[in-house]
Structure 1
Amino acid sequence: MAIKSFQGRRTDTPQEENVPMLVSDYMTKKLITFREEQPIEDAIDILIKHKISGGPVVNEKNELVGIISEGDCIKQISESRYYNSPIGKNNTVGKAMVKEVETIDGNMNILDAANKFLKSRRRRFPIVQNGKLAGQISQKDVLIAAMKLKGNTWK
């Protein structure tokens, strides 16, 4: 009597837990922020120096009041050229920023955040917790998170 097919002892392989990957796990917490009263020239210098495309605008209580981007700054430059007036100290971040800011919940699944990026065509979303700016998630942060996922854990 021969053994035709012996596979050996089968051991249970531990299954990986399907832990949802949250926005708060990948958001940037140390942010470069701007103030409403800050001259637009200072904001442009900061964007160039730190090689960023924009950032949140906060008040003295660290509450989100707007967001400023390279595009907002370019618009100010274009308008000042059109009216043949230098940018000057009168043009502030508060005048150029977008005041109606869409935010993302830090407890949102990272793949849901990716879908929100696709629908909104934004480059970044601030995360607000208890009325204060807690962080920011960018498209690059979502890409980093996606590369850590395995095909069978995409939930």
Structure 2
Amino acid sequence: MGIKSFQGIRKIVKKEFEAPILVADYMTTKLVTFRPDQSILEVMEKFAKHHISGGPVLDDNGFLVGIISEADCMKQISESRYFNQPILEKNVENFMTKNVETIPDDISIFDAAGIFAQHNRRRLPVMRNGILVGQISRKDIVIAALKLSGHNWK
């Protein structure tokens, strides 16, 4: 004789998981920013103090005009040694990347991962309606993927 189930017919429960997958959900919003007229030495001091490797450069009105990174500072260090000039005399405007690639805050982390894969960038400024609202890094994307790894991605 077969075993009877006293639980009755089981209802199929479909689990819905709505994980945040937008860049806005994982970006850093408290940014260390720089000005075009700041010295490279000040920038390097901020990098060390805040344990960062780069950040956005904003004009007096708060608009994004560039991005400065450790790599940009390395150029200055190398050139100052080569030409026997002090580091203090150069400012951010001379070394920052001016044509900055940005991404909107409402794209998915998967699209952002594709952008990082296409372009050799460590961080991307995040924009909403032409205004800087944050920054996302490759590390932020990896962390987001880890949080979602136990769930089905749609």
Q: How many angstroms apart in 1 are the aligned matches of 2:139 and 2:59? A: 26
Query: Displacement of 1:38 after TM fit?
Result: 0.5
Deviations 1:8-29 (A, max 9, x none): 3302324214456100000000
Range that drifts further, 5-14 or 30-39: 5-14
Q: Aligned partner of 2:144: which letter?
A: A
Aligned twin of 1:135: 134
- Cα deviation for residue 151 of structure 1 reads 5.0
Distance 1:7 1:78 in 2: 78
- Which one-letter code corresponds to 2:148 in the other structure? L
Kept after mapping to 1: 8 A contact 2:26/2:141 = yes
Question: Equivalences for 1:107-146 in 2 at 5 Å?
Answer: 107-146=106-145
Distance in 1 separating the partners of 2:135 and 2:95: 20
Deviations 1:86-112 (A, max 9, x none): 112x30011110000001111111111
Q: How does 1:47-58 map to 2 (within 5 A)?
A: 47-58=47-58
> Post-superposition shift, 1:145?
0.7
Match of 1:104 in 2: 103
Measure the CA separation in 2 of the matches of 1:63 and 1:27: 18
Aligned to 2:16: 16
Instruction: Give the TM-score normalised by the residue count of structure 1.
Output: 0.90
Q: Contact 1:64–1:128 at 8 Å: present in 2 too?
A: no
TM-score (norm 2): 0.91
Q: Gaps (5+ residues) in structure 1?
A: none
CA distance in structure 1 between the partners assigned to 2:58 and 2:16 by the alignment: 41
| C-alpha deviation, 1:81, in angstroms | 1.0
Taking only aligned residues, the RMSD between alpha carbons, in angstroms, comes to 1.8
Deviations 1:17-63 (A, max 9, x none): 44561000000000000000001100010001111110000112211
- CA contact 1:34–1:56 (8 Å) conserved in 2: yes
**Partner-residue secondary structure (3-state), 1:153:** coil
Are residue 27 (structure 1) and residue 27 (structure 2) matched?
yes
| Alpha-carbon contact 2:17-2:151 (below 8 Å) kept | no
Q: Is the CA contact (8 Å cut-off) linking 1:18 and 1:153 kept in structure 2?
A: no
Identity %: 50
Partners in 2 of 1:94 and 1:44 — Cα distance?
Answer: 14
Q: Distance in 2 between matches of 1:130 and 1:105?
A: 8
